[in-house]
Amino acid sequence: MKHYDAAIIGGGIGGLMSAYELITKSPEMKVILFEKGHDIEKRACPIVTGHASTCVKCPSCAIMEGLAGAGAFSDGKYVISTEYGGWLPDFLKPETVLDYIEQADGILQHFGAPAERFMPNNELKKKCLEYDLHMAQAQLKHLGTDANFETMRKMAAFLKERVTILTDTNVTDVDKATHTVYFEGRRESGEVTADHIIFAVGRVGSRLFAQWCTKNNIPLKNNQVDIGVRVELPSMVWDDFSHKIYEPKIWYRSKQYGDVTRMFCFNERGQVVMENTSGILTVNGHAYVDEKKKSQNSNFALLSTIRFTEPFKEPIEYARSVAGLANLISGGSVLVQRLGDLMAGRRTDEKRLAQSTVRPTLNAVAGDLSLCLPKRQLDNIVETLQALDKIAPGTMNYDTLLYGVECKYYSARPDCTDFELDGCEKIYAVGDGTGFTRSLSQAAAHGLYVADKILRG
């Protein structure tokens, strides 16, 4: 049985940053990294490549999993702030988190990421406050889906020469007592041992990680679930914001329920895309740097936040069931509806969609979102759109498109001490899939921090 100094489960940005830190600061270390999905060079979504018009439910979703993680096909927004993007500042000093975010940015620049940043804008923040809208501010970098993918490809190529990387390989179990990692892969299956084990599983692996924690008696705390829609409209509607700060990240507290609804993941002149997470189809957004790949529309997520209390303990399953209902109604796809049809209480059909002045960038099924989204969340979304229309007139247009369902579910967070799992010596948790982060920047910073912790030890 082979033995390694460190085993990393998950090849997203958190896992890659951990591997990079370990082998650049301690080149003699033997590191192995397991990734459930394909090698980054083999990741290709049939919709994106034009070989399919809708999701064909590939065994491994190229958008969601594979080396470089879901972030490889994101639009590459990198938030240089502790104001949002995860909960690391709850566990580390904010200045420590920011330092690691900057370190990770330096590494990405080494592999080709741009240095240019969008800066905060108090004038726009004040404009939002006039209508009880609250805009989070940060220095922000936009790499673009295409440029971001190339950056991650170069980083992966660097690591392949120094780290044992097994793609298309599923970790089936980890023995916390013997530090044995059991795995099944396309090329090989077996088991290895490691002095240190890092769970960096990402959103796709969050369910399995939670099950492993439960089996090993590691208490979990449920995090929030965000459920809502992806909004698509003419890019000029939000040009005033996107040209100055790129991403308007705005939250609003509804007057009807007092719930928070968040606008985020803005994609200027981008595309709405479909994601497959363990058989459940949801929507997301991409934006490219290449002018030839840009559309005439911009899109953003608009999600209502739910925080469950006892005795309910399955927030992720709740979100999956809502998204699954949209899949059922659409005949195995996702839904799109004109805002005007939603407000009029009628479904959008193909004829009505064809009349829309906003041409959809995703081939979704015309339908009625009120049949799958809970009324409370739908009310919050409509009220927030009405508020956003005051700062970006045209947001509430009849032909604004709403795709559903989009959801962000954050893993149940395990009890730990400085990210070392309770009762599991030298086994650590990193990134989005373990409930500590929800952005590329904080996941990257988290990977570096835990690697440094191992090196210090």
Low-confidence ranges of the chain (pLDDT < 70): 223, 410-411
Question: Which pTM does this prediction carry?
Answer: 0.87
Place of tokens 């209902």: 325
Please state, in angstroms and rounded to a whole number, the distance separating the CA atoms of residues 230 and 285.
Answer: 8
Write out pLDDT tens, residues 78-94: 999 998 889 999 999 99
| Secondary structure of residue 109 in the 3-state scheme | helix
Sequence-distant (≥ 6) Cβ neighbours of residue 367 within 8 angstroms: 329, 330, 335, 336, 337, 347, 348
**pLDDT of res. 103:** 98
**pLDDT of res. 223:** 64
**pLDDT of res. 76:** 82
Other beta carbons within 10 Å of 267: 33
**pLDDT of res. 411:** 66
Apex CA 208: angle with CA 205 and CA 210, to 5°?
Answer: 105
